[in-house]
Structure 1
Amino acid sequence: MFLGIILALSSGIALGSITSFAALSYQHGVEPLGLIALRGLIAAVIMLAVCVVQKESMVLKKGGVKYALMIGTALSMVGFGYMSSVAYITPGLAVAILFLFPIVVLAIDSLRLRKMPPAATITGFGIALVGIVSCVGIGGPLHPVGIL
C-alpha cells in the first residue's frame, strides 16, 4: 500500500509540473515537437529499465498489440496537444481545459445512453470545474491554436 501511495504522489507531482516546465522550455528555445520526442525517449528508457529490474516481458500478446497501438496513439495525441498548447496559452488555462475531459466523457455517455446523469453528478462536476478554475486560473491570452 505504501508503494502505491508513493507512486500516486510522484505521478501527481510529475503531472502537475509538466505544463510549467514545458512553458519554461519554450521560453528557452525548445520546440514542442522536440520536447515531446525527448519525453517519449526518456519514457521508453525508464520503462525498459523497469521491465529489466522487475524481469517483466516486453513482448505483447497477439491480441494486445492493436489496443496498445491505439492507447499509444491516443496518449501521444494528448501529450502533443497538451505540451504544444502552452506555447500559445498560459499553463493554468491549459490545465483547466485538459481537466474538462471528465465533463466531455459525461456528456458523450449521456448522449450515447440517451439518459441525463443524476443531478448530484452534474452538481459534482460543476463544483469540480469551479475548483479547477479557482486553483489554476484562466487568465492570459486566448490564442485559438492553444485552445484547440
Structure 2
Amino acid sequence: MKIIILNGPNLNLLGTREKSVYGSRSFEDYFEELKEAFPALELSYFQSNTEGTLIDKLHEVGFGDYKGIIFNAGAYTHTSVAISDAIKAIETPVVEVHISNVYAREAFRHKSMLAAYCTGVIAGFGLESYRLALQYFERLKPKQIGFGIK
C-alpha cells in the first residue's frame, strides 16, 4: 500500500529549529526509521515551503495509486483555504498531523482550515504523530480506506 508523507513550511528545519518544541531529530532520519518499522507499506516523503507546490503534490497523489496521505501543513494549516480546497477535491484520504500540541500554543494555531476535509487529526506526540497515522492506514483493509470521510 502506497502512503506519502507531506511536510509543509519550515519542517525541513527539524532537528535544528526550536528543539524545545520540535525535538532534535531530522525528519529524514526519522523517515528511515518509519520505513524500517512499516515494511509492508510503500512510503514516500515530500517537503516544500511553498503553498502551490504542496497543492500540486496533493493533486498528483490524490487520485489513484496512493491509499493515504499524512500531511503536516505547518502554519498553512491555520491559513490556507487553497490547501483546504485541494484536500476537499481529492479522493485519497488525508490524516492531518502535528508534532506539537497546537492547542497548547498560540490561539491562532487552535483553528485548522484542513481538519474538516481530513479523515482525522493527530497532534502533540512529537514525531510519533506520524507513526500513529501510519498505524491507522496499516490497520485498515483496502476497501475501508476513506470510509466515513468527505
TM-score tier by shorter-chain length is under 0.3
TM-score (normalised: structure 2): 0.24
Point out the structure with the larger strand share: 2
Point out the structure with the larger helix share: 1
Larger Rg: 1
